[in-house]
Amino acid sequence: MPSPLRLTVRRSPTPDSDGLATLVTLRVPSDVACIEEAVDLVTRHCLAGQRAWERSRFRLQVVLSEALSNAVMRGNCEDCGKWVDVRAELFPDIIRLFVTDEGPGFDPSAVPEPIRPEQLDEAGGRGLYLIRKLVDAVQFNEQGNSICMILRRP
Amino acid sequence: MGFNQTKDPSGVTVVQVEGQLIVGNRQELKELVQSALDGGERRILIDFSRTGYIDSSGLGALVSISKRIREMGGELRLSGLNEDLRSLFELTKLDTLFAIAETPQQALASF
């Protein structure tokens, strides 16, 4: 069965006027079973031939998995009629990762930090916290259904 | 990705996480451990020597498993966390919740 994921990759031999060298986009169905393959595809195409970024592979995988999981489960409520769009922009010194769902959005400022002692025993609530700890900057659009995660070159 | 379950000669149930522990397979791990508990096992080691990455759902599953094992009067150890994986436990303070050994051998000796 062909993969339901839709990938495009654009590489420029020299960065364009904005400095963008590689653009990876991926449409992912709202199915948690697709998340691992989506993470693998985006990471592989982002980091192909980019030895300077190799040390960022792990955090790239984790934050992509987190953002996709949030988008599929919370944003799109696993509605198979909805998609999640991933857009990875690779510049010489930063990677910008956008993950956008079709949900109504949420207020990221209302998500509590999950590391208080009384919360350690809770099973959930660590996703956004981990993203914030693993990337250099996080931004949301006004609606709250699109996250932009920025990683700087190590 | 998957889980490889064996029993150590000392009687400890050892579960190796091969690949990722993420939202797509966390339930499988919870069910596997529950099945071991139902079978009377009380000493369980989860080893991450062959693990790529873990997401917050995977961490949450480990928290649930830890609670369940405690409720059943059992013991859980974790082992084989590389520097990246260990950083996830440290960032979330979960390194204070789990008994973590460097190697499976050290974990087995600590039961």
CA dihedral A22, A135, B52, B67 (to 10 degrees): -150
The arithmetic mean of pLDDT across residues B71-90, rounded, is 97
pLDDT at B13: 97
Across the interface, do A130 and B91 touch by the CB < 8 Å criterion?
yes
Residues of A in contact with B60 (CB under 8 A): 122-124, 126
* Domain range annotation of chain A: 6-152
Q: What are phi and psi of A139, to 5 degrees?
A: -130, 150
Question: What's A14's DSSP letter?
Answer: S
Nearest-CA distance B30 → chain A (Å): 12
Across the interface, do A62 and B88 touch by the CB < 8 Å criterion?
yes
The arithmetic mean of pLDDT across residues A1-7, rounded, is 75
Smallest CA–CA distance from A128 into chain B, residue: B56
* Out of A32, A58, A126, closest to residue B59 by CB: A126
The stretches of chain B forming alpha helices (DSSP H) are 26-38, 56-71, 83-91, 104-109
Is residue A99 less than 8 Å (CB to CB) from chain B? no
* Out of A33, A58, A133, closest to residue B53 by CB: A58
Which residue of A77, A126, A149 is the best one to mutate when testing the B interface, meaning the one whose CB has the most B CBs within 10 A? A126
Residues of A in contact with B92 (CB under 8 A): 114-115, 126, 129-130
The reported pTM is 0.93
The band of A1, judged by pLDDT with boundaries at 50, 70 and 90, is: low
- A30 CA to centre of own chain: 14
Is residue B84 less than 8 Å (CB to CB) from chain A? yes
For residues A96 and A152, give the distance between their C-alpha atoms in angstroms, rounded to a whole number: 9
Domains recognised in chain B with CATH numbers = 2-109 (3.30.750.24)
CATH of A6-152 given 3.30.565.10, 3.40.50.300, 3.30.360.10, 1.10.3720.10: 3.30.565.10
User: Which of A125-129, A145-149, B95-99 shows the lowest mean pLDDT across its residues?
Assistant: A125-129
The arithmetic mean of pLDDT across residues A95-104, rounded, is 96
What's the pLDDT tens digit per position in B16-63?
A: 999 999 999 999 999 999 999 999 999 999 999 999 999 999 999 999
What's the pLDDT tens digit per position in B4-26?
A: 999 999 999 999 999 999 999 99
- Listed in sequence order, the residues at least 6 apart from A154 whose beta carbon sits closer than 8 Å to its beta carbon are A52, A53, A55, A56
The complex scores an ipTM of 0.92
pLDDT at A129: 93
The arithmetic mean of pLDDT across residues A118-122, rounded, is 77
